[in-house]
Homo-oligomer: A and B are copies of this chain.
Amino acid sequence: MILALAGGVGGARMAAGLAQVLPPESLTVVVNTGDDFEHLGLSISPDLDSVMYTLAGRNNAAQGWGLEGETGRCMEALKALGGDTWFFLGDMDLATHLRRTQRLREGATLSQVTRELCAALGVRHTVAPMTDDRVATRVLTPDGELDFQEWFVRRRCEPQFLEVRFDGAAAARPSETLVRALADPELDAVVICPSNPFVSIRPILALPGVEEALRLRRVPVVAVSPIIGNASVKGPLGKILGELGWEVSSGAIARHYGDLVDGIVIDAGDARLAAAIEANCRTRVQAVPSLMKDAATQRRLAEAVVAFARNLARQ
């Protein structure tokens, strides 16, 4: 069994690749919920939705988030009413938030709701939130501390990223799915998806016991670098790395994860970095074409990642 830790777009694409390669019982995707927020009275879980929609084959692949064929009639009307439209909620996507909000109010856990939504969407692999408790990613900027979506969407990542903290993480319990996966005797490897390490993966690792469990387990932990060349494939990672004083390269990703990971998958074009990473970080490196443009490239990367992890396990 493979446990994948996933954030937004990169996580969703990697999860979709792994789901092509592994049967439902052999893949558990645990998703960052630090980006979750209440907006317009709705409980919104952007990363869970990205993963669910992508696994369901319903995502807008070009855009990277939301549903294919989505419309914005509600948002248009809301704009005319003077409402908040900085966070776009498509008409079909709204149904997900309405349903989630209702079920949470009825007392269901986010894990339960996610299971129900996945079942309704035809997602057969296991998808779970990192926790059922409230964790809020907060970005410290020169303008003060901002809620993640305020920084990410409303302010378009413009304010300098000085630091990040995960409000509530220390008191949150990892979800049962995460706890069980980490303790599962069938666990073969943990894949850290090519998500933003600072805002998508660190919230998961910040939950009590998670990083310790990864270190204590004898299964390989493999990260897939979200950097190709000197840029992040998507999102503000390049900007964040620069503002934190790191160079923008897969070498920085390897150093960031340090000895938490046993191996890192980097892009074939960055193969020249492999020797330095292996020497400096004691991390095994696999260089393969890592840009996930479509189902075929997602599948090929997933195959390479799984093969690399299985290979590490045998060593």
Contacts and interface: CB of A to CB of B under 8 A. Distances in A.
Nearest to A100: B81
A74 to B, nearest CB: 5
Nearest to A105: B41
B96 A77 contact: yes
A interface SS class: helix
A84 B71 contact: no
A83 interface: yes
Contacts of A116: 81-82
A96 B81 contact: yes
Contacts of A255: none
B98 A83 contact: yes
Nearest to A78: B95
Using C-beta atoms within 8 Å of the partner chain, give the interface range for chain A.
20 to 34
Contact of A40 (B75, B84, B98, B117): B98
A91 B91 CA distance: 6
A92 B120 contact: no
A295 interface: no
Nearest to A91: B73
Interface string A54-80: 000000000000000001011111101
